[in-house]
Amino acid sequence: MRETPRPQETAGGSRAAHPQPRSGRALAHTAGASGSGTPHRSDGRPPHTPRGERHTGQGDRPGTSPPVPGRSAFLLTGFAALAVLFALVTWQVVADGPLRRLDERVGGHLAGRGPQGVAQALADLGSMPVALPLLALALGYAVWRGARLDALIAAATMALVPALVVPLKIWTDRAGPLTTDTGYYPSGHTATAMVAYGGAALLLARYTAPRRAWVMPAAAGVLTAATGTGLVLHGYHWPLDVLASGCLCGMLLLLSSTGMRRSSSRTRRR
């Protein structure tokens, strides 16, 4: 800041006054907006200090710089969308609506298509002897790394699958594509695959490099999609059976991921 000293007084031997800023020059530090007292640069840019650059994050992401939209809003939107889609599909299946009739035409056309040996192998990815051991390995690794609460959340989510799917099967009482037996909606194999592989991905993703964090969820999605494809092509389930399980278990995994994220945040704060 350039300053011009005032002329000294000669009469009475007065001391020189403090230098005053020249008129028409911008001050290097002025009070912030609305008299907040926050220093700002004269050129409008933020000061080059850590305190001046620090931003506060959203409510669920404290200390984030720069501020980003909270994940809670995205999770809530995704959960609501899955819930609405699941309710719509279930209503059409129970009420024998046009969507169910379209589903049965498409499913009847797809059943028995393609190499059935491959379809059977894909469908078996959703069986408990295949999916549960993989989840158990992920649970054991998480416990070994000290993430006991995360492992408990994933195990509880898996336990909710039969508690939700079995009553729905009894209530909807839908027959399968190639049989008159009922209890095929929603698909239990798809639900088992999605929660087992998805839960394992949530547990293991935190231990992978940030740039590779997408690999685990992507692998879980591929395995779940392969399971549903094999079930439809082999004639075990209608397409809507698979879609409904995807919606239902997607909601479970969203809740599970939220609980794990909050558990990790509390652990870091400690």
Q: What pairs with residue 152 in β-bridges? A: none
- Taking only the tens place, the pLDDT of each residue in 85-119 is 999 999 999 999 999 999 999 999 999 998 999 99
Question: 61 versus 106: which is more confidently predicted?
Answer: 106
With 80 as the cut, is the pLDDT of residue 183 above it? yes
H-helix or E-strand spanning residue 222: helix 215-233
Buried-exposed string 62-80: b where 16+ CB fall within 10 A, e elsewhere = eeeeeeeeeeeeebeeebe
pLDDT at position 72 is 79
Mean pLDDT calculated for residue range 229-244: 97
- Taking only the tens place, the pLDDT of each residue in 10-58 is 444 444 455 555 554 444 444 444 444 445 555 555 555 554 444 444 4
pLDDT at position 69 is 54
* Reported pTM: 0.72
Mean pLDDT calculated for residue range 123-133: 96
Q: How far apart are CA 155 and CA 157, in angstroms?
A: 5
H-helix or E-strand spanning residue 20: strand 20-21
Least confident of 40-49, 184-193, 224-233: 40-49
With 50 as the cut, is the pLDDT of residue 66 above it? no
